[in-house]
Chains A and B, each alone.
Chain A
């Protein structure tokens, strides 16, 4: 494991900043730095799977990763990472203004390599449809923390059908009290009350799509 990957996996923020600075100043290939950072994030993911790391460690490592990216991003070739990224539209549904969980899962998805279009909170069904059409995104992620949001999720899935998009867009619903009953009610493909599981589901879909 590289020094940088290890520093990130160990949540050693200052050290990550130092190494990235050093590498950039030395003129190292930013692609290689990015690869090492990704390796660090993979280790974080593995530790989470083993029960050693929790949501907190994922959120914090995501922050360290994001800050490191600020340093190397301007030096990365423009289209490099965009090529293979699967597009995903995300938002909290109409009537619901909870953003915490959605923002976290949005960051986790970005780090996992998705091209995330976050429409924010209180998003009307037509705004979801419009964005899906515009971006040709393959996945729709809807967040909601309140029971009345289940109706808004259902209406959005209906709107996707009306717009002729449902067959090509995978839909996942998430939030603290979302269950299988909720998934069925709104006609989604998957559900989760855990952001990390949500990312895994989207990753599996992305892999299928690439086949």
Chain B
């Protein structure tokens, strides 16, 4: 074990501030894995918060502890029915799916081109007054009551983590405009919109972005946790040209992040898929206020080169490696990350996206242990 001179929170904050912590911090996003590892049906885990938080904290202890808990439990906290996300129908374990199956999204066209005009007229929240009941079959009052109840549970669970000196890095969440529209229209339909009616898409984004921002601010005040979890998964340079990104992706991202910074929030940019081409733009976001979280599809070594004096990087142990690899493979992968991305600080070791449901326990442990045992062999230039 490397000598530890910092608390977990100090270690994480120091990485975000691009300082060199006593050792590389390791943060985990995992809900499905602890449930399965503890032999609890996925269905129960999502229904019963008491069971879930126990599985999560027990697994934390079995793994010998780690530095940051990204999501406090299985809840996406929101202070009201106003969500900055797509109400994508889910295939839930024990409901649409089998008891022990992984949660999955059912992507279909839940929003039509005609809905675009409604968003333009009413903004995102105004549109959702009609949209959410239509898609979920539940009234706004019902959704609101259930969100408020879940929020209370979430805040309690976050306190439990804080009680064992683990910071929770998720106090509110939002998706970007592109991701919300892509999920609601479905990938192909939204792609057609980008070419057929880009002006309309832009007008929709202009009409929705301020609501997305306000929802996050309300939610983070309600949880009291100054971290925003910000999935961006449908606008990367793997899918669309930089021309589209410069018009319909980046400007809105920048506007949102700037607003979060003004509110004193730290944002985890959850960049699933390959964002390598988009990386240079991130240098234009406020320094040390965001984390660039990668899922192994973006070239993380290139990310280090581009962002090293600007933004903390988090990731990116691949899901398939955690599920199919050996502890030796995982250790080697993490050592390389610590050497190349950890050099000079500004790095948090983590899984690419959520830790897979069927990860091997010994692989997850190997990952965490590498952060605790392995010192970067390279000295900053």
Q: Which residues of chain A (138-190) have a CB below 8 Å from chain B?
A: 146-148, 150, 176-179, 181-182, 185
Once A and B bind, how many residue pairs between them come within 8 Å at the CB atom? 87
Contacting pair A57 B358 (CB below 8 A): no
What is the 8 Å Cβ interface bit string for chain B, positions 344-362, against chain A (1 contact, 0 not)?
A: 0000000010001111000
State the Cβ distance, A85 to closest chain B Cβ, in Å: 23
Contacting pair A97 B104 (CB below 8 A): yes
B6-14, B66-74, B222-230, B232-240 - the one binding chain A: B232-240
Given A56-B241, A100-B186, A100-B188, check contact A11 B104 (CB 8 Å).
Answer: no
Give chain B residues whose Cβ lies under 8 Å from the Cβ of A100.
107, 186-188
State the CA gap A95–B358 with chains docked (Å): 14
Give chain A residues whose Cβ lies under 8 Å from the Cβ of B239.
54-56
User: Does A98 lie at the interface of the complex (its beta carbon under 8 Å from any beta carbon of B)?
Assistant: yes
Contacting pair A98 B104 (CB below 8 A): yes
Contacting pair B104 A56 (CB below 8 A): no
Give chain B residues whose Cβ lies under 8 Å from the Cβ of A177.
295-296, 318-320, 352
User: Does A28 lie at the interface of the complex (its beta carbon under 8 Å from any beta carbon of B)?
Assistant: no
User: Does A3 lie at the interface of the complex (its beta carbon under 8 Å from any beta carbon of B)?
Assistant: no
User: Does B19 lie at the interface of the complex (its beta carbon under 8 Å from any beta carbon of A)?
Assistant: no
Contacting pair A13 B191 (CB below 8 A): no
What is the 8 Å Cβ interface bit string for chain A, positions 183-210, against chain B (1 contact, 0 not)?
A: 0010000000110000000000000000
Contacting pair A146 B102 (CB below 8 A): yes
Contacting pair B356 A55 (CB below 8 A): no
Give chain A residues whose Cβ lies under 8 Å from the Cβ of B196.
13
What is the 8 Å Cβ interface bit string for chain B, positions 270-292, against chain A (1 contact, 0 not)?
A: 00110000000000000000000
User: Does B195 lie at the interface of the complex (its beta carbon under 8 Å from any beta carbon of A)?
Assistant: yes
State the Cβ distance, A172 to closest chain B Cβ, in Å: 16
User: Does B111 lie at the interface of the complex (its beta carbon under 8 Å from any beta carbon of A)?
Assistant: no
User: Does B209 lie at the interface of the complex (its beta carbon under 8 Å from any beta carbon of A)?
Assistant: no
Give chain A residues whose Cβ lies under 8 Å from the Cβ of B192.
59-60, 63
Contacting pair B319 A147 (CB below 8 A): yes
Contacting pair B318 A179 (CB below 8 A): yes
Contacting pair B323 A193 (CB below 8 A): no
Give chain A residues whose Cβ lies under 8 Å from the Cβ of B150.
none
Give chain A residues whose Cβ lies under 8 Å from the Cβ of B200.
none
Other-chain residue from A53, A95, A104 in contact with B101 (beta carbon distance below 8 A)? A95
User: Does A99 lie at the interface of the complex (its beta carbon under 8 Å from any beta carbon of B)?
Assistant: yes
Given A97-B91, A97-B104, A100-B188, check contact A182 B240 (CB 8 Å).
Answer: no
Contacting pair B107 A181 (CB below 8 A): no
User: Does B244 lie at the interface of the complex (its beta carbon under 8 Å from any beta carbon of A)?
Assistant: yes
User: Does B324 lie at the interface of the complex (its beta carbon under 8 Å from any beta carbon of A)?
Assistant: yes
State the CA gap A179–B296 with chains docked (Å): 11
Contacting pair A59 B188 (CB below 8 A): yes
User: Does A118 lie at the interface of the complex (its beta carbon under 8 Å from any beta carbon of B)?
Assistant: no
Contacting pair B237 A54 (CB below 8 A): yes
Contacting pair A181 B188 (CB below 8 A): no
Give chain B residues whose Cβ lies under 8 Å from the Cβ of A31.
none
Q: Which residues of chain A (53-72) have a CB below 8 Å from chain B?
A: 53-57, 59-60, 63
Give chain B residues whose Cβ lies under 8 Å from the Cβ of A146.
102, 104, 356-357
Contacting pair B241 A99 (CB below 8 A): no
Contacting pair A147 B195 (CB below 8 A): no
Contacting pair A99 B319 (CB below 8 A): no
Give chain B residues whose Cβ lies under 8 Å from the Cβ of A57.
241
State the Cβ distance, B344 to closest chain A Cβ, in Å: 29
Contacting pair A147 B323 (CB below 8 A): yes
Contacting pair B325 A181 (CB below 8 A): yes
State the CA gap A97–B187 with chains docked (Å): 15
Contacting pair A54 B238 (CB below 8 A): yes
* Additional A-B contacts beyond A56-B240, A194-B238 (18; CB < 8 A): A53-B241, A54-B237, A55-B238, A56-B241, A59-B188, A59-B191, A60-B192, A60-B194, A98-B107, A103-B188, A146-B356, A146-B357, A147-B322, A150-B324, A176-B273, A178-B320, A181-B320, A181-B324
Selected A-B contacts with CB under 8 Å, 6 pairs: A13-B195, A53-B241, A55-B239, A59-B187, A60-B195, A182-B324
Closest 6 CB pairs of A and B: A147-B323, A147-B356, A56-B240, A100-B187, A60-B195, A55-B239
